[in-house]
C-alpha cells in the first residue's frame, strides 16, 4: 500500500509539472484574416502543437476531411453534445452553423504537458477567457481593412450574400482586439505562425497586457 501511495504521489507530481508547462492558446480574429492559413502552417511546421478539432454543423468544403479539419455532425448530434456537457465552448457563427470545441481532448493534451491551439471565433474566445484565466488569447489582425476585404472576396468560396454577412461580422470582431492578451499582425504567414508559436512558450501569468 505504501508503494501504491508513493506511485500516486509521483504521478501527481509529474502531471502537475507537465500541466504547469502547457498552455491553452486561443487564436481568434476577424473572419478571413487568415486564421485558417496560419493554423495550417503551424500544423505543418510545428508538430509539437496539439490542434483541437472542432465539431460543426456546417457542410464540409472540398478537401476538408472529417475528424481532421472538423467533426462534421448534424443538429441532433450537436444538441446531444451540448446536453452531455461535452463542449469547452460553442457558438453559432455568422448566424448560420454551430461550432464547438470538444472538452476531453483539450484536457488530456494539457494534462500530458502539450500546448493546445484553438482556432475559434470571438464568442468562443470569450467563453474560454471566462472559464480559464490561464488561457492565452491571441488576436490575429489584418495589416489593413482593405486587405481584409480583398482576402474575403478573393477566397471565392462564399456567395455575395454570405460575403456581406461575414464582412459585417468582421467589423464587430475587429473592435474586440483590446480583449486579447496579444496581437499578431498577419503580414506574412510564416512570420505570424512563428510569433504565435513563440507566444506559447511565454511563462504562465506573464502574458497580461501591460
Q: Which residues form the interface with ligand 5GP (CB under 6 A)?
A: 31, 35, 54, 58, 89-91, 93, 99-101, 119-121, 123-124
Phi, psi (rounded to 5 degrees) for 186:
-85, 75
Q: Which is nearer to ligand 5GP, 173 or 199 (CB)?
A: 173
Closer to ligand 5GP by CB, 50 or 121: give it: 121
Quote the least distance from Cβ 14 to ligand 5GP, whole Å.
Answer: 30
Q: Are 112 and 106 in contact (CB under 8 A)?
A: no
CA–CA dist 117, 25 (Å, integer): 5
* Complex with ligand 5GP: residue 83 or 210, whichever CB lies closer: 83
Task: Kindly state the cell numbers that stand for 38.
Answer: 496560419
State which residue, 22 or 89, has the beta carbon closest to ligand 5GP. Answer: 89
**Beta carbon nearer to ligand 5GP, 28 or 199:** 28
Name the residue whose CB lies closest to ligand 5GP: 124
Residue 99 near residue 120, CB atoms below 8 Å: yes
Which grid coordinates belong to 88? Answer: 469547452
Helix-helix angle 189-200:35-45, to 10 degrees: 70
Closest CB to ligand 5GP among 140 and 199?
Answer: 140
Instruction: Please report which helix (H) or strand (E) contains residue 99, including its range.
Output: strand 97-102
Which strand ranges, in their side-by-side order, compose the sheet holding 70-72?
70-72, 54-56, 97-102, 87-93
Cell of 3: 508503494
Q: 10 Å Cβ neighbour count for 65?
A: 9
What is the rounded CA–CA span in Å between residue 136 and residue 117? 10
Rounded least distance, CB 46 to ligand 5GP, Å: 19
Smallest distance from the beta carbon of 65 to ligand 5GP, in angstroms?
13
Residue 20 beta carbon to ligand 5GP: minimum distance, rounded to whole angstroms: 26
CB of 125 to ligand 5GP, least distance (A): 7
- Nearest distance, CB of residue 30 and ligand 5GP, angstroms: 8
Phi, psi for residue 55 in degrees, rounded to 5: -95, 145
Amino acid at each position: 500500500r505504501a508503494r501504491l501511495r508513493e506511485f500516486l504521489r509521483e504521478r501527481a507530481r509529474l502531471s502537475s509539472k507537465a500541466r504547469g508547462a502547457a498552455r491553452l492558446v486561443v487564436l481568434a480574429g476577424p473572419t478571413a484574416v487568415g486564421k485558417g492559413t496560419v493554423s495550417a502552417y503551424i500544423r505543418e511546421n510545428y508538430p509539437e502543437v496539439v490542434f483541437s478539432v472542432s465539431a460543426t454543423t456546417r457542410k464540409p468544403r472540398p478537401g476538408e476531411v472529417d475528424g481532421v479539419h472538423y467533426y462534421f455532425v448534424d443538429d441532433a448530434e450537436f444538441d446531444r453534445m451540448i446536453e452531455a456537457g461535452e463542449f469547452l465552448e460553442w457558438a453559432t457563427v455568422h448566424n448560420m452553423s454551430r461550432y464547438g470545441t470538444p472538452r476531453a481532448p483539450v484536457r488530456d493534451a494539457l494534462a500530458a504537458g502539450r500546448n493546445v491551439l484553438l482556432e475559434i471565433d470571438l464568442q468562443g474566445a470569450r467563453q474560454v477567457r471566462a472559464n480559464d484565466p490561464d488561457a492565452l488569447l491571441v488576436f490575429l489582425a489584418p495589416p489593413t481593412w482593405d486587405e481584409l476585404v480583398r482576402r474575403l472576396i478573393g477566397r471565392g468560396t462564399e456567395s455575395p450574400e454570405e460575403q456581406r454577412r461575414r464582412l459585417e461580422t468582421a467589423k464587430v470582431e475587429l473592435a474586440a482586439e483590446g480583449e486579447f492578451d496579444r496581437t499578431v499582425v498577419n503580414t506574412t504567414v510564416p512570420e505570424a505562425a512563428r510569433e504565435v508559436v513563440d507566444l506559447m512558450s511565454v511563462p504562465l501569468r506573464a502574458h497580461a497586457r501591460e
